[in-house]
Amino acid sequence: MKQHQQHLWWQDGIIYQIYPRSFQDSNDDGIGDLKGILRRLDYLRELGIKAIWISPIYPSPMADFGYDISDYKGIWPGFGTMEDFDELLRQVHAAGMKLILDLVPNHSSDEHPWFVESRSSRDNPKRDWYIWKDPRPDGSPPNNWLACFGGSAWEWDEQTKQYYYHAFLTKQPDLNWRNPEVEKAMLDIIRFWLDKGVDGFRIDAMWHMIKDEQLRDNPQNPDYEPTMATYNQLLPVYSTDQPEMHAIVSRMRRLLDEYPERLMIAEIYLPVNRLVAYYGAPHQREAHLPFNFMLISLPWEPKTVATAIDEYEAALPDDGWPNWVMGNHDQPRITSRIGQQQARVAAVLLLTLRGTPTLYYGDEIGMRDVPIPQDEVQDPQGLNMPEKNLSRDPERTPMQWDNSGNAGFTGGKPWLRLDRTWMRVNVQQQKQDKFSTLCLYQRLIRLRQQEPSLMTGAYRPVYSDHQVIAYLRQSEGYAGFLILLNLTHRPCYFRPVNIKFKGRVVIDTFPEQESLQVENTIDLGGDEAMVIKLEQWQ
Ligand code: NOJ
């Protein structure tokens, strides 16, 4: 048997995203915190994940729940103290895991001292740290750009009689990355956390960071439909993904590379060909993992998904490591997009594809989007566009741990209401039930982490039709795996022509099927996905 080729921790391992407000409260104020995360480290270790990515924990007015930072080198008191953070980092490392912070370099809070200074007068030294522009002659904003959370992206400042640009909320002014002082300050912040021993960063909104120098108007989007966010009325061709961005990312990467094995993940919503550009080139490396959101954005249709996987594999640069994301704090949960049963099929897909999977907290127990009454909506995206059903609160509800009060999340009043099903959908219940989604995840993770073929082996597409996707995973010298996924609720057959195969089902969304010997033809039930250890494939 050949020696399994060495990979880095972020290639072998699985990333788990924690939305800190909602994971575990330790002081009964209804909001999750760092001590709460610490309390749940054993759960994460048992689950088998390698790295925890925590959404922002810095001081913040919380207009966008932490994505509006007022001090990049501190901890929001609601989450704890710097001592709590240091302790968490120590314990994460002691448990053999890694900790990834969320960094938001595109914008700060309007309450950050930098912006307070910047807006104080036109000749303040920090004026040019943000994007200030004169109005057009008729007093209107400098161009037609729209904010992601609704309305114009320009906010008028009465005191200094100029507009400032904000890609998100008015309380999130965009930093001016054309100013080298901004870059210097941000690199200094990155270094601060790296020196503490943080293992990497998930960089927020990376494709927004540089804007067209001439600030040209964005064109209309011919495919806009009124159900979409107003932001989508225009195509953001001049406000995002500008060529100058790549040099900046590569300088960030160079800084990370001064430290051993640190990871840069980039949040980028772009079509595949432009996404993969953010891996950089051999002489100018950029992000290790530009987040691949295909499984979030594509329709759950087997041919579409299979084709997208192939396109992604083909588009990757030679040394670009793939990654897959099924959910996050900005998107409806997988169960609410494709249903509970198909979400189990999706789990098999996510954990058997080639590349680093990122799990969103709660998906491993099949949490669903929770209906939040209108008068309890907290998310600014939901509040600003109430008629569009775009609130992100439903996918941010407290983790369901057990059947004690508030699912074991808090002894106080949770900041967002829990799903009514928490008494039966929770970690404690599912641990005891071998048919549960949690057990499915745990076993998939265990198998993936034991089997080089699944962890880092090659991906080979085999077949897809209107119901099924089939592919192989194989490391040289090891038994390979055939993965079969039925993306529909109806039974179907897998009968490849001119291929003879033999194997044993090792994991199935219907565990009754496990240990079954299979040969040449397989019939799959509706919502069934199987991982087959191959003895023969020719
Ligand atoms: C992306 C983050 O994931 C989202 O939650 C946030 O609202 C925006 N960036 C702005 O920071």
| Full DSSP string of 95-146 | TT-EEEEEE--SB--TTSHHHHHHTT-TT-TTGGGB-EEPPPTTS--SS--B
Q: How do residues 330-377 score in pLDDT, each as one tens digit?
A: 999 999 999 999 999 999 999 999 999 999 999 999 999 999 999 999
Q: How do residues 193-235 score in pLDDT, each as one tens digit?
A: 999 999 999 999 999 999 999 999 999 999 999 999 999 999 9
Ligand 1 nearest atom to the CA of residue 380, by list position: 7
Domain annotation covers residue 489: yes
How much is the mean pLDDT over the chain?
97
Domain annotation covers residue 351: no
Q: How far is the CA of 159 from the centre of ligand 1 (A)?
A: 29
pLDDT attached to residue 2: 44
Residue 1 has pLDDT above 70, yes or no: no
Q: Which CATH number belongs to the domain containing residue 117 in this structure?
A: 3.90.400.10
Residue 147 belongs to what domain range? 113-165
pLDDT attached to residue 280: 98
Element (H, E) at 183: helix 180-196
Active site residue 110: no
Domain annotation covers residue 135: yes
Q: Considering its fold, how many domains does the chain have in total?
A: 2
292-300 mean pLDDT:
97
Give the number of other CB atoms < 10 A from CB of residue 228: 14
Q: Are 440 and 509 in contact (CB under 8 A)?
A: yes
Domain annotation covers residue 412: no
From 165, 180, 203, give the residue that closes a domain.
165
CA pair distance 493, 277, nearest whole angstrom: 39
From 165, 200, 231, give the residue that closes a domain.
165
CA distances (Å), origin 450, targets 67, 160, 470, 506: 37, 61, 21, 13
DSSP 16: E
254-260 mean pLDDT:
98
Q: How do residues 36-84 score in pLDDT, each as one tens digit?
A: 999 999 999 999 999 999 999 999 999 999 999 999 999 999 999 999 9
- Give the chain's largest Cα–Cα span: 76
Amino acid residing at 344: R
pLDDT attached to residue 6: 79
DSSP bridge partners of 501: 537
Edge to edge, what strands does the sheet with 517-519 contain? Answer: 458-464, 468-474, 481-486, 529-537, 501-508, 517-519
CA pair distance 201, 102, nearest whole angstrom: 6
Question: Which residue's C-alpha comes closest to atom 5 of ligand 1?
Answer: 330
Of the pLDDT bands very low, low, confident and very high (cuts 50, 70, 90), residue 430 is very high
179-184 mean pLDDT:
98
Q: How far is the CA of 379 from the centre of ligand 1 (A)?
A: 11
pLDDT attached to residue 79: 99
pLDDT attached to residue 5: 61
Of the pLDDT bands very low, low, confident and very high (cuts 50, 70, 90), residue 300 is very high
**To test ligand 1's pocket by mutation, which of 57, 104, 169 has the most ligand atoms within 8 angstroms of CB?**
104
Q: Which CATH number belongs to the domain containing residue 466 in this structure?
A: 2.60.40.1180
Tokens of 288: 């290790």
Domain annotation covers residue 12: no
Based on DSSP, count helices (H) and strands (E) in the chain, helices before strands. Answer: 16, 21
Residue 320 has pLDDT above 60, yes or no: yes
pLDDT attached to residue 479: 84
Ligand 1 nearest atom to the CA of residue 149, by list position: 7
pLDDT attached to residue 3: 45
132-158 mean pLDDT:
98
Out of 267, 286, 369, 527, which one is annotated catalytic?
A: 267
Give the number of other CB atoms < 10 A from CB of residue 220: 11
Q: Which residue has tokens 């509006």?
A: 68
Tokens of 259: 């430290």
Domain annotation covers residue 483: yes
Active site residue 363: no
Ligand 1 pocket (Cβ < 6 Å) reads 64, 67, 104, 168, 204-205, 267, 329-330
Q: Which residue has tokens 């566009």?
A: 385
Domain annotation covers residue 519: yes
From 150, 165, 180, give the residue that closes a domain.
165
Q: Are 166 and 153 in contact (CB under 8 A)?
A: yes
Domain annotation covers residue 478: yes
Determine the 3-state secondary structure of 336 from DSSP: helix
Out of 204, 241, 286, 369, which one is annotated catalytic?
A: 204
Residue 262 has pLDDT above 80, yes or no: yes
